[in-house]
Chains A and B, each alone.
Chain A
Amino acid sequence: MMISQPVARPDGGVKVTGRARYAADYFAPDLLHAVLVTAPVPAGRVTSIAVDDALAEKGVVRVLTHEDMPKFGRFASPRAEPDTQMQQAEGPPAAQSFMPMQGNEIRHEGQPLAIVLGETLEAAEAGARRVALRYEFAEPELPAPPEWTAIDKAAVVPRESGFLFLEPTFTKGEVDRGLSNAAAMVEAVYLQPSRHHNAMEPSATLAEWNDGELTLHDATQHVYGVRQVLAARLNIPAEKVRVISRHTGGGFGGKGWIWPHQVLAAAAARIMQRPVRLALSRANAYSCLGYQPRMAQKIVLAADRSGKLTAVQQDVVNLTTVTDDFVEFATEASKGLYATPAMRLSQRVERANVAMPTPLRAPVEGPGTWALESAMDELAHRLGIDPLDLRLINHADTDPATGQPWSSKKLREAYEEGARLFGWRERPRKPQRDGDWLIGYGMATCSMGCFRNPTPAAEVRLRRDGTVLIRTGTQDIGTGTLTIFPQIAADVLGLPMEKVELEMGDTQLPEAGPTYGSSSTMGVGAAVLAAAEDARSQLARLANLLPDEVEMQDGHIRRKGAAGGQTIADVMSHTDIGEIIGSGSFDPAQHGKGLAMRTFGAIFMEVGVDPGLGLLRLRRAVGSYSAGRIVNPRTARSQMTGGIIWGWGMAAIEQSRHEPVLGRFLSKNLSGVAIPVNADIPGDIIIHFVDEVDEHASPIGGKGIGELGATGVAAAVANAVFDATGKRIRELPITPEKLL
């Protein structure tokens, strides 16, 4: 059995030696380096772009402006419905409908306005500084000040578009009655700032044209998405676009959808008839890629004396661009977490001249649990009920929004085991001190919806020599798929891991969808499983065995339970087939019909607060999860630990501040914007998974975990800070000025 084993990552060898190649590590003969010139203001109109000075820079070959660019095609969202307003709607995998360099309008700061192409990077960079922009400044729409009244006033109902995945409002039961009958109520506003993914690899694209065919080496979470969007934008058939992404240096959502720079690089290469590499600077990555938008959430929880919720009301407003209404559905957490007879939820947006937001680890429930799980803690204190008990009292045995049964849910076990590992029940109730540090304990529920991407496909080739090649057009962003897929195939085919090779990250491989939404194990994993089973069945038939009755082990195939068996080589030598090609896919519509699906968990945290210096530090954490079968506990532990650290960053450190006058991100670098460093993270982080198999979500029995770990954490931290100091912090991040 390979599944459930803590197998080491097979990609370790190339990654620790620097041999793993990322988009910017590719070269092409005659390569041109591209550097973007971007808008210095959030709104207005470019009146002229003087390029002579830049061209005078030795090594600068050309400066492209909107006048040089082709007219880019529209990309109709797969969600677009014929004969409705939605017919023309753009949407994912395109990250935004607005394409820069199509005219002279400026819609956000940092928007690409020109591309400087140089024989060397030094020339292109120096040239970019010498491009002289003239523009007319227009009064921008700026984000409202970060407080509820102002944000509420600026908020509007999102328009229909490819970005509106769900209805913006949801009601169930009689909320007003629930509110008026309540014995205790919490009404509070929770704020969080915009935050960037800041993957260590800034996005990069190498575009090369040959006979009208485009090859792209790209940093992406979705090679097929890049192909689809580029084909539409460049008005060429998708078959003419090949996208390669062997390794992507972190995504976290930031490389999930397709951004304008990928299109611009390809267009520049076509104009120049030379390969072009556009590696975004860190600063570019702040405005040319998305971010989790600033959000305000007003939440009302009402409960009876026993702690049972009688109503939940939540109004969410997120920032978005003037062009597209990105909606961050934080209300999903309230929809799915606790049993309540009544809820009234609404999502609105606040439009401003800012860059386009996008999902960020963890989207949706990430922000949602920040508000909901903080409010639950407030309610627990108001009622005098232990925060964990309040959650147990309101445990949702069926999906609160739909009443559907769960595909599987072992949250009670997760609470219990997490509490035990942490010592929650035994925690000191009196204020604790350690020198200058006040110690506090907090917990929260974690949860993520199950995003199952339709029909990823995979191919498993079984060769005569007993080696296997898995081919699937998904991509490596570090989550562990390079380990898990071989494990799955090795398991079915009874081979050791070393015999299994995996090829990913190329549109010449079977289409397998994006690597986001924690969907890969469930979806692509199931496709690999099906393909491996198909290969095994084919081998069985060659061996004159009934496919349903065979098993494979140690390179042999045999009837289940029988001894010995025939070797793969023996079976295949009966024929002249050199390899068996098994194929498989996963259709979520065929699995778990009528069932609600979610992952769950509980996070327990101990923090220290130095009230004199306003410092907040993590001391230890326990995360305990109900997420279906864990295919590889070792890579899964890293995923969850990483998620918790993301949550810590959200809670205590991260923010991309919107400058209130200039309408830009205040800092677009890694020194003005802090993300956690090694010294922030204690070793004492315990990860526990409840033993669980969810056969409905996917034949793998597993569900996604990549984002689950990052949910709940911010609330658990704020709850622990309250425990330590008696201060309830409702605005993230919890920085010194809030703690003094």
Chain B
Amino acid sequence: MTPFVYARADSLGDTIAAGAAPDSAFLAGGTELLNWLRLGIAEPTRIIDISRLDGLDQIEALPGGGLTIGAVTHLNDVAQHALVMRDYPVLSQAILHAASPQLRNLATIGGNLLQKTRCAYFRAEEQLPCNKRQLGSGCSALHGINDNHAIFGWTKDCVATQPSDPAVALAALDAVVVTAHRSGGRRIPAAEFHLLPDTRPEADNVLQQGELITAIELPAAAPRSAYLKVRERESYEYAIVSAAAVLEMDGQTIRRAAVALGSVALRPWRLSTAEEQLAGTELGDREALSTAIEQSFAEARPLSQNAYKIELAKTAALRAIERAARMPS
């Protein structure tokens, strides 16, 4: 690690003031940041430890429905919170399928959204041609090994995916990322938080330097929701593809569906076209469900080695919907 100075934040105001200086970075759980420091992915000179900031680790019901989750709440605490388990099973499941029990005791929900791609070229100990490591150096994956890369929204500048599991659940839940910044805070829809590589391939999300996530807000309860993660090994592994489904039902008919796919693009991928068509569909009608899902895959574009992910993602979406439907309401 390149040398840096360290300070523990004690007030929100000081934190966002200090964070605005270039080359400073927030430290929450550290489970991403420390690896970036080791690999040279980030080389901040000032580290601001936000893990003990007052009031940022609470989970509270919002008046009028919904839930707010403090940004530095540990993943395990979010996933095992009674209200989250009861009202937002998709989020609880997504979290419990992420990383490992030990990592989830450190990792925070805010930090999780800020994780970077797992593209092996990007994560190499040596700097390889990679536009996310160094803009203009090219994309090694485009003509290299890309069987686990994007099928949606990629450009030839970057074909990577965003690996977060919770982000997929949050996108399907229409959650809101609440931030604070020296120039004022924002409310960012979770599904729009991450950036596709089309404009600035080096950027991962919409946050500005020094912008602090303070909370994640969940809208009204979504008990009929579920998460499905496909991976080679059974645990402690990132997804090849994942799917989050949130349903509202009238008996056996879908009234409203929200479906997001993970690890298929640089952001959680909402199947908006499919969602429209899913409304009104009978759950028992697998064919109709599949046809609806199919609509959203018109824009899927495989790379040289990952066409299989398209079929996989369709099945994952279908299974997530069926799983969500089986959840008690």
Contacts and interface: CB of A to CB of B under 8 A. Distances in A.
A162 to B, nearest CB: 32
B236 A677 contact: yes
A156 B277 CA distance: 59
Nearest to A657: B145
* Chain B interface, DSSP helix/strand/loop, else mixed: loop
Nearest to A733: B232
Contact of A661 (B3, B140, B237, B315): B140
Interface string B102-145: 00000000000000001011011110100000000000100111
A676 interface: yes
Contacts, number: 87
A737 B232 CA distance: 10
A652 interface: yes
Contacts of A736: 230, 232, 240, 308, 312
A320 to B, nearest CB: 22
Interface in B1-37: 1-3
Contacts of B40: 129
B33 to A, nearest CB: 16
Interface residues of A, number: 39
Contacts of B86: none
* Chain A interface, DSSP helix/strand/loop, else mixed: loop
A617 B234 CA distance: 8
B232 A672 contact: no
Given A657-B145, A672-B123, A737-B147, A652 B2 contact: no
B238 interface: yes
Nearest to A41: B126
B143 A661 contact: yes
Contact of A122 (B1, B145, B308): B1
B238 A671 contact: yes
Interface string B299-329: 0000000001001100110010000000000
B45 interface: no
B145 A740 contact: no
A666 interface: yes
Contacts of B140: 659, 661-662
B326 to A, nearest CB: 12
Contacts of A733: 232
Nearest to B307: A737
Contacts of B120: 666-667, 672
A667 to B, nearest CB: 5
A678 interface: yes
A28 interface: no
Contact of A614 (B38, B234, B312): B312
B1 A283 contact: no
B233 A676 contact: yes
Interface in A439-488: none
Interface in A657-685: 657, 659-662, 664, 666-669, 671-672, 674, 676-680
Interface of B: 1-3, 38, 40, 118, 120-121, 123-126, 128, 140, 143-145, 147, 230, 232-238, 240, 308, 311-312, 315-316, 319
6 contacts: A666-B145, A667-B120, A672-B118, A676-B233, A677-B234, A679-B236
Given A125-B38, A679-B233, A680-B233, 14 more contacts: A129-B40, A613-B230, A613-B319, A614-B230, A614-B308, A617-B234, A662-B128, A667-B120, A671-B118, A671-B123, A674-B237, A680-B234, A736-B230, A737-B308
